[in-house]
């Protein structure tokens, strides 16, 4: 099971990084979301995987580590705030500039042939 979770984390990280390297704002926002999943699960997994042992007193004979869960809970909510802010920035730059490209060319500079 641990292997599956690790592979899932790796896959979501790879997808998130790839999308964040794209040249338009929307894929970057998607990449950020994907990376958020990966990071949250990663932090959560640092408490190790335990099934059927919720961190509630008296609910089960054993209990998993509650601290990573507390950290991840706020991380999920904060990352919503971050995603929302990024989306608004993306929208604002698109509406202001008329393009949702993210790599800026300096005035008078030839566009990078590699892009």
Partner 1 sequence: MSLALIAALPFLGALLPGLLIRSGRNTCASVTFATTGLAFIGLMLHAPAVIGAGGVVTEGYEWLPQLGLNVNFMLDGLGFLFATMILGIGLLIILYARFYLSKTDPMGNFYTYLLLFQGAMVGIVLSDNILLLLIFWELTSLSSFLLIGYWKHLPEGRQGARMALTVTGMGGLAMIGGMLILGQIAGSYDLHVILEQKDLIQSSEYYLPALLLILLGAFTKSAQFPFHFWLPHAMAAPTPVSAYLHSATMVKAGLFLMARLWPVLSGTPEWFWIVGGAGLITMVLGAVIALFKDDLKALLAFSTVSHLGLITLLLGLGTEYAAAAAVFHIINHATFKAALFMTAGIVDHEAHTRNIRLLGGLRKLMPVTFTIGTIAALSMAGIPFFNGFLSKEMMLEATHDAGTWFGVVATIGAIFSVAYSFRFIFHTFMGKVRDDYPHHPHDPGFGLWISPAVLCVLVLAIGLFPDQTVGHFVDTVASAVTGTDVHVHLALWHGVTPALIMSGIAVAVGIVLLSFQRGLAPLWDRAPRPEAKAIFDAVVNNAAKGAISLTDALHDGAISRYLGILTAVIVAYAGWAFWGGEFTPGTRAMLPVGPVELVFFAILMVAVAGVTLLHRMRFLSLIVISICGLVVSMTFVQFSAPDLALTQLTVEVVTVILLLLALNYLPKETPVESRPARRVRDGVIALAAGGGVGALAFAILTRDMSLPTISDYHVANSYTGGGGNNVVNVILVDFRGFDTMGEIAVLGIAGLVIYALVEVMLHGPASRRLQNWVPEMAQARDRHPLMMVVATRLALPIALTVGVYIFLRGHNEPGGGFIAGLVVAIALLMQYMASGFAWTQARQKVAYHGLISAGVLIAVFTGIASVILGWNFLTSTSDYVQIWPLDRIHLASAASFDLGVFLTVVGAVMLALASLSRIGVRAGEGINLTPMDVDPRAESQPKNPEET
Q: Enumerate residues 82-101 that contact partner 1 by CB under 8 A.
A: 82-85, 87-92, 94-96, 98, 100
Query: What does the angle CA 79 – CA 104 – CA 86 come to, to the nearest 5 degrees?
Result: 15
Q: Enumerate residues 26-85 that contact partner 1 by CB under 8 A.
A: 26-27, 29-30, 33-34, 37-38, 40-42, 44-46, 48-60, 63-67, 69-70, 72-74, 76-85
114 binds partner 1, rule: CB under 8 A? yes
103 binds partner 1, rule: CB under 8 A? yes
Least distance (Å) between residue 92 CB and partner 1: 5
Q: Enumerate residues 6-25 that contact partner 1 by CB under 8 A.
A: 6-15, 17-25
Query: What does the angle CA 64 – CA 70 – CA 16 come to, to the nearest 5 degrees?
Result: 100
110 binds partner 1, rule: CB under 8 A? no
Query: What does the angle CA 36 – CA 41 – CA 46 come to, to the nearest 5 degrees?
Result: 130
106 binds partner 1, rule: CB under 8 A? yes
Distance of CA 35 to CAs 40, 59, 70, 112, Å? 8, 33, 19, 27
Burial class (CB in 10 A: 0-12, 13-18, 19+), 102: middle
Least distance (Å) between residue 61 CB and partner 1: 12
């Amino acid at each position: 099971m641990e292997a599956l979770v690790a592979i899932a984390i790796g896959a979501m990280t790879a997808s998130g990084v790839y999308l964040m390297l794209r040249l338009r704002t929307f894929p970057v926002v998607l990449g950020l979301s994907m990376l958020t999943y990966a990071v949250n699960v990663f932090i959560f997994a640092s408490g190790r995987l335990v099934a059927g042992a919720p961190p509630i007193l008296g609910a089960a004979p054993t209990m998993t580590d509650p601290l990573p869960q507390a950290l991840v809970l706020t991380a999920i909510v904060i990352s919503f705030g971050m995603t929302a802010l990024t989306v608004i920035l993306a929208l604002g730059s698109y509406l202001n500039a008329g393009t949702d490209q993210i790599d800026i060319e300096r005035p008078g500079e030839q566009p990078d042939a590699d892009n």
